[in-house]
Amino acid sequence: MFRLYRELERGEFVLVGVDCSQGGADSNFGSFLSANKLDFPISYEQQGVAANATEDLFPILEWIFDITGIKPVVAFERNNGGASEMERLSKLNRNNKFEIFIMPKIGTTDDNQETRLMGWNTSSSTRPILVGDWKDAIDCKVIKLYDAEVVKQHKAFIVSKTGKPQASGKSHDDAVISPAIAWQLYQRVPIRKIEQPFHQVPYQASDDVIGI
Amino acid sequence: MTRLDYKAIIEYYFKIKTKEGNIVSFILNEDQNMYLDMLYKDYPSMQGVRENDLKSRQVGWSSLIDAIGMVDFIWSELGKTPLMDGDIVSHKDKETKTLFNRANLFLNSYLEIEGIERKVFLTEDTTDHIKGKRGSELWVQTASARVSGRGGTKQFIHWSEVAFYSNTEIINAEDLVTGAERQVGDGIGKIFRESTGNVTDDFFFAEYENGKKGIGEFKSRFFPWWMHKSYTRLAPEEWVAPDYYAKVRAENDVKLNQCYWHFTKTKELEDEKMMREYPTYDVEAFLLGGKPYFNKQALLYYTNHTQQPIKEFLNVSSL
């Protein structure tokens, strides 16, 4: 189910973070961040597995492009089937109406900063950045959250006895991780604007003397 | 199947002991009427009732649920409804005794009005079990490995304070509850799981969350403290309600004195356990397994700024 909190506008650049479900009671969760307004006008939450998320999200990504005129950028977390679904989503993108986020190298001095991995790769080196940057954004109230489920899961996100930030007990963290991924995209993807058609300006001499 | 008029039967026949210790007619309070209306709406025949009820302390839910169970027992003994076999299960012995005394009071007040002797109405009458002449039974038990069994058939189970059942290697709440519930056939009878919250690690938390998402057959409902209008205390004139109450006051008819009652009850919103007993939001009803990761003031800010979606949809074509 998608929850729409406000209408999208032409010229908005949307970044989409998705936490894929492992099935059962778990849900796929997607957070749509507007880079222009720093809010989340759309949330997506649906039971199922990662493959279901692709089927649900593909038409929405095209719809966003049709409204905003700017290709949204999307990243599934690569766990729980997200990696293969990123590839599938990439192949579905025949109309070239959205972009897939390519995971950068993090924690290296390598000249080539791209891993060539599609989507967000959570690892022991990237997770602290993911949740740490997101904590800064939340604590400083930089962004706007409208979705009650998102806020609820943030309340149940704790520092465990071992010091790890995680969901408490049997509560879920997919509504924490997905906006955190969208926030990483916001920081790592250059802002896109609607491409203006090129209009040739006719030559006008500033004076009668050309050259020296 | 025709539905019994539970409200009329309960209010005409049953008596209840008040918090002050007086025995009075059981007139449903505002909360109980509201809950009964919810049940009628979602289960028009009052069959196939499957409830996860997360509530504040002392709102009178278990009284109503047990009264419904007792109406089913009596009316089945009168031959007006099919036979019933029911369980009322509590988390500790002392509470079990209280529940049984209350159920007995319901039965006795009915028998008194109708002028029927208890020994004429019942064939078995022990400290935790009654059986009627036609064969309907009602058990009141403490949650343990001996509860209920798995082999028979049941039509009514009330799990009282299910979030506080023991979780040991021998028995845990999930095995106990789900095992016993298999005795209630699909689409018939009534199963009430009613509790204040405990911790996010437990069975009731997971079941409550599933019910909210529409997973499984149980409906989850949350009843915050402010729905119980008697929870109120005169606020000093200079007292200003903290931001914590902004959203709940903006969206509901919550009075300043109610907020002040909650504020003092929860030791100025600092007592985690009292916040759990009297939650404003369902997430507060379950203690967390550690310190919150995000800043509490920021979370309060975001709580106060959540909105209802303007649209919900699964397909773009529906937009």
Q: Is the residue at B319 inside a domain?
A: no
Residues of A in contact with B209 (CB under 8 A): 25, 170-172
Judge if B218 and B242 occupy the same domain: no
Q: Find out whether B9 and B36 touch, Cβ atoms under 8 Å.
A: no
Range of the domain at B262: 226-304
Nearest CA in chain B to A63: B316
Identity (one letter) of the amino acid at A52? N
Instruction: Find the helix packing angle between A174-188 and A148-155, rounded to 10°.
Output: 100
pLDDT of residue B144: 73
How many beta-carbon pairs below 8 A join chains A and B? Answer: 127
pLDDT of residue B179: 87
Q: State the maximum Cα–Cα separation within chain A, in Å, rounded to a whole number.
A: 80
Calpha distance A149→B131 (Å, rounded):
46
Q: Is the residue at B43 inside a domain?
A: yes
Judge if B219 and B113 occupy the same domain: yes
CA distance A61 to chain B (A): 10
β-pair type (A114-118, A102-104): antiparallel
Nearest CA in chain A to B293: A158
Residues of A in contact with B310 (CB under 8 A): 4-7
Q: Is the residue at B317 inside a domain?
A: no
What is the count of structural domains for chain B? 2
Pick the closest to residue B59 from B131, B160, B147 (CA basis). B160
Q: Is the residue at B206 inside a domain?
A: yes
Count helices and strands (H / E) in chain B. Answer: 11, 12
Judge if B63 and B178 occupy the same domain: yes
Judge if B74 and B209 occupy the same domain: yes
pLDDT of residue A208: 63
Out of A27, A151, A171, the one facing B306 most closely (by C-beta) is A151
Judge if B196 and B292 occupy the same domain: no
Mapped onto helix, strand or coil, the DSSP state of residue A206 is coil
Query: Are B316 and A59 within 8 A, CB to CB?
Result: yes
Judge if B161 and B233 occupy the same domain: no
Identity (one letter) of the amino acid at B314? L
Q: Is the residue at B314 inside a domain?
A: no
Judge if B160 and B215 occupy the same domain: yes
Question: Of B294, B310, B317, which to mutate for an interface test with A (greatest number of A Cβ within 10 Å)?
Answer: B294
Judge if B130 and B246 occupy the same domain: no
Judge if B151 and B265 occupy the same domain: no
Look up the ipTM and state it. Answer: 0.89
Query: Are B307 and A146 within 8 A, CB to CB?
Result: yes
Calpha distance B308→B311 (Å, rounded):
9
Structural domain ending residue among the three candidates B223, B241, B263: B223
Structural domain ending residue among the three candidates B223, B258, B274: B223
Whether chain B has a CB inside 8 Å of the CB on A58: the answer is no
The residue count for chain B? 319
CA distance B162 to chain A (A): 16
Whether chain B has a CB inside 8 Å of the CB on A38: the answer is no
Residues of A in contact with B312 (CB under 8 A): 1-4
Structural domain ending residue among the three candidates B223, B241, B259: B223
Judge if B62 and B208 occupy the same domain: yes
Digit-by-digit pLDDT tens for chain A (212 residues) are 999 999 999 999 999 999 998 877 788 999 999 999 999 999 999 988 888 999 999 999 999 999 999 999 999 999 989 999 999 999 999 999 999 999 998 888 877 777 889 999 999 999 999 999 999 999 999 999 999 999 999 999 999 888 999 999 888 999 999 999 999 999 999 998 887 667 777 776 666 666 65
Judge if B300 and B183 occupy the same domain: no
Judge if B166 and B236 occupy the same domain: no
pLDDT of residue A205: 65
Q: Is the residue at B79 inside a domain?
A: yes
Query: Are B310 and A4 within 8 A, CB to CB?
Result: yes
Query: Are B281 and A152 within 8 A, CB to CB?
Result: yes
Residue range A2-188, CATH number: 3.30.420.240
CA distance A100 to chain B (A): 20
B316: left (phi over 0), alpha (psi -120 to 50) or beta: alpha
pLDDT of residue B2: 67
Residues of A in contact with B298 (CB under 8 A): 138-141
* Cα separations in angstroms, B169 against B90, B141, B164, B173, B232: 20, 20, 16, 11, 43
Residues of B in contact with A160 (CB under 8 A): 289-290
Which strand ranges, in their side-by-side order, compose the sheet holding B156-160?
A: B122-125, B129-132, B137-142, B85-90, B156-160, B190-195, B49-55, B219-223
Average pLDDT over residues B279-293: 90
pLDDT of residue A153: 94
Mean pLDDT of chain B: 91
Which strand ranges, in their side-by-side order, compose the sheet holding A73-76?
A: A99-100, A73-76, A14-19, A22-34, A39-49, A2-4, B311-313
B262-282: buried (b, 16+ CB within 10 Å) or exposed (e) per residue?
bbebbeebeeeebbbbbbbbb
Lowest mean pLDDT among A69-78, A135-144, B4-13, B271-280: B271-280
pLDDT of residue B172: 83
Query: Are B309 and A4 within 8 A, CB to CB?
Result: yes
Query: Are B314 and A46 within 8 A, CB to CB?
Result: yes
Mark which residues 77-136 of A lie under 8 Å from B by CB.
131, 135
Q: Is the residue at B123 inside a domain?
A: yes
Q: Is the residue at B47 inside a domain?
A: yes
pLDDT of residue A199: 75
